Structure 1
Amino acid sequence: MTELCEEGSRLYATALRSGRVPRGDVEAAPCLMELALLHPDPDDPDLLRPVPPAVALAQRLNPLEREITERRRLSVRLADTFEPFMALGNQATTTSDALIVLEGSDRINAALNLATSQCRTEVLTLQPSGRVSELALMRGLERDQPLIERGVRIRTLYQHTARFNPEKLAYGDRLSNGKAEYRTTDEVVERMIICDETVAFVPAREDQQVALELRHPGLVRHLIKFFEYMWDRSVPMTAGAPYEAASDGITDIQYAIAKLLVEGHVDEAIARRLGMNVRTCRAHIAKLATALGSGSRAQLGYLIAQSGILEHEHEH
């Protein structure tokens, strides 16, 4: 205990002025006895005498000074222990600061929370269009809502299939107020989050349990340019164009599938890269075959290549 209550302060001042106070008066201020500021009068047990302030202060300070002295000794020992490693640590500072490996969802989320709490200008996000759990949605809202309130701009790029993901649509509705923009594209390579132009987060393993925190300015700038490239070729979430057929009867998503088919990807790989299930992917392939007049899967690839539809950007 280090503080006197109001009544204790008054009684101690009275005891110092008069030299003593009745024992009964102290019952209302037990702090005086706890701090050892009064002691019994040897001539009258019903009276208490004050301990001089200088003596009382010294009694309270002595253990603190001993602790401070011990802490200083510990500080010196720690400095001596780490001193041989300091030069080695300085040599590795650039590399270690530029790339940090984050293992486990708790550490990844903690790093993301810290980075977004320090963000002042803009957050850029690439998000594959898999299903989103309620927990992940709440974590995202807890992270992004304060950013919006601080005036930080958020730009998020999903795959076209996010337009049929109720969780992502609900998330966009919660945050869309001018500072948050959502667009979709036919293909997203991987998840990525960039805060200001300072730090980027990318996954290092498919199960999302290991991530890389990147702070090298050149690398972050490169990732921002990649994001801007994809953003310029994306469609606002509110637009319906990606799933609406153009005059040739082919939609943007089917153009994306056609491109991957010509590159030799199988149905499962195409579905995974475009964020849809295999059944949906095959339904689009069937519509694409009908539009091009293909009677077989082998013929479809040939017709796509001969049609020239991939030689220019598809426009609605």
Structure 2
Amino acid sequence: MAGHGTDEHPHGADRLCEAGDRVYSRAVRRGRVPRRDAEAVPCLLELALLHPDPDDMDWLVPTSPQEVMTRLLRAVHDEISASQRRVGSAVAAFEWYAGLGGPAAAAASGGEGTAAIRVLDGPARIQAALDEATAACTTEVLTVQPGGIRREHELSEGLHRALALRGRGVRMRDLYNHVARHGQGLLNYLELMGDAVEARTLDEVIDRLILFDRTVAFIPANADRTMALELRHPGLVAYLVTVFERLWRLAVPLTAALPDTGIEGISHREQSIAALLAEGHQDAVIAERLGISVRTCRAHIARLSETLGAASRTQLGVRIAQVGLDGPARDAGAAAPGRESPGVR
């Protein structure tokens, strides 16, 4: 119960300060206390826990604990009743607002009772939403998994969902960076999943994306991925499906080798780095886009400089253009659009 105490004693009768507790307890035991004893605890008078003795104004007598309890309970009941009335008013108001949109609003929201865009704040809510979408999925899951080599704990986080999907005959297609090919954890995961999962890789992929049955999508909502967006608007989901399919056609099946650059001494990854250098990107940006560390990126740049005979970064840019490394690397998957690779085992 909110009290009307002074600045020194801002509390209610249900939670007395230590000094007030001592004085009120003494008054209850003895029947009354001198007024001077309550000077340090004016809250007792303001809360009507003590009141003047009509026979002697220099003394204060306590209000009985039973009366105080009745007063407290009555106040709590009034607060609860007021809260219930406010809840009822809020529900009625927003039901009225919800009805203003009519059928058009329901269609824009992705379906009756479903939000077109829902913000998921925190790992627990994200996990719960993914579990819910997994349980409802019946046909297909499409994912984009950026970054470098997939660590064991990252793969195991979603393993229970993947196994549940495989058990229901759901097909899965995953896109990774090329560098993910070198992780044993990913290879073990794909072997466990068998024909249920098909994986391909690209030099660069978009940020993380998960699509269930082409009806609901999940994307990050901030840089550290502590927030996510759940998308159910048909237009948004269809757009993301199109993006995925176009990347998929350009990607290289994990069962196939990466294409040769056709330039002696230049690897496929170095060709990708050269193209990004030609665009003017810094080492940290290149490393992030290709899913490698900055240290690894710089080692490749040094090797590239040595191979091309460049003594400086400026000269390296000239050499990259001269040998034709300033364009995007061509992937094997792009040469045969529409041809599917065998399932990954």
Provide TM-score, normalisation by structure 2.
Answer: 0.63
Amino acid at match of 1:154: M
Query: Do the aligned partners of residues 309 and 295 (structure 1) sit closer, same or farther apart at CA in structure 2, a change above 3 Å counting?
Result: same
1:87 aligns with 2:99: no
> Which residue of the partner structure matches residue 321 of structure 2?
305
Once the two structures are TM-superposed, the CA of residue 238 in structure 1 deviates from its matched residue by 2.5
> Which residue of the partner structure matches residue 275 of structure 2?
259
1:225 aligns with 2:234: no
Query: Which residue, 104, 110, 119 being the options, matches 1:101?
Result: 119
Q: Which has the higher helix share?
A: 1
The whole-number CA distance in structure 1 between the counterparts of 2:315 and 2:267 is 20
The whole-number CA distance in structure 2 between the counterparts of 1:114 and 1:312 is 39
1:284 aligns with 2:289: no
Once the two structures are TM-superposed, the CA of residue 294 in structure 1 deviates from its matched residue by 2.0
Equivalent position SS for 1:249? coil
1:152 aligns with 2:170: yes
Q: Quick check: 1:187–1:273 contact (8 Å CA) kept in 2?
A: yes
> Which residue of the partner structure matches residue 204 of structure 1?
221
Equivalent position SS for 1:97? coil
Query: Which residue, 196, 212, 230 being the options, matches 1:195?
Result: 212
Query: Which residue, 199, 205, 214 being the options, matches 1:182?
Result: 199
Q: Quick check: 1:246–1:315 contact (8 Å CA) kept in 2?
A: no
Q: Quick check: 1:252–1:314 contact (8 Å CA) kept in 2?
A: no
1:94-122 deviation digits (Å, cap 9, x = unpaired): 45711100011111011011111111111
Query: Do the aligned partners of residues 115 and 259 (structure 1) sit closer, same or farther apart at CA in structure 2, a change above 3 Å counting?
Result: same
Once the two structures are TM-superposed, the CA of residue 266 in structure 1 deviates from its matched residue by 0.9
1:293 aligns with 2:316: no
Q: Quick check: 2:149–2:182 contact (8 Å CA) kept in 1?
A: no
Query: Do the aligned partners of residues 80 and 206 (structure 1) sit closer, same or farther apart at CA in structure 2, a change above 3 Å counting?
Result: closer
Q: Quick check: 2:202–2:252 contact (8 Å CA) kept in 1?
A: yes
1:169-188 deviation digits (Å, cap 9, x = unpaired): 2222211x222101111012
- Aligned-residue sequence identity (percent) comes to 47
Q: Quick check: 1:199–1:220 contact (8 Å CA) kept in 2?
A: yes
Equivalent position SS for 1:246? coil
The whole-number CA distance in structure 2 between the counterparts of 1:267 and 1:296 is 15
Once the two structures are TM-superposed, the CA of residue 162 in structure 1 deviates from its matched residue by 0.6
> Which residue of the partner structure matches residue 167 of structure 1?
185
1:207-256 deviation digits (Å, cap 9, x = unpaired): 110000011111111111111111111111232326x6534432322222
Once the two structures are TM-superposed, the CA of residue 133 in structure 1 deviates from its matched residue by 5.2
Q: Quick check: 2:283–2:297 contact (8 Å CA) kept in 1?
A: yes
Equivalent position SS for 2:256? coil
Alignment of 1:8-19 (within 5 A): none
Deviates more, 1:271-280 or 1:247-256: 247-256
Equivalent position SS for 1:241? coil
Unaligned 5+ segments in structure 1 are 1-76
RMSD over aligned CA atoms reads 2.7
Provide TM-score, normalisation by structure 1.
Answer: 0.68
Deviates more, 1:259-268 or 1:164-173: 164-173
Unaligned 5+ segments in structure 2 are 1-85, 333-345
The whole-number CA distance in structure 1 between the counterparts of 2:207 and 2:328 is 25
Deviates more, 1:223-232 or 1:290-299: 290-299
The whole-number CA distance in structure 2 between the counterparts of 1:289 and 1:231 is 32
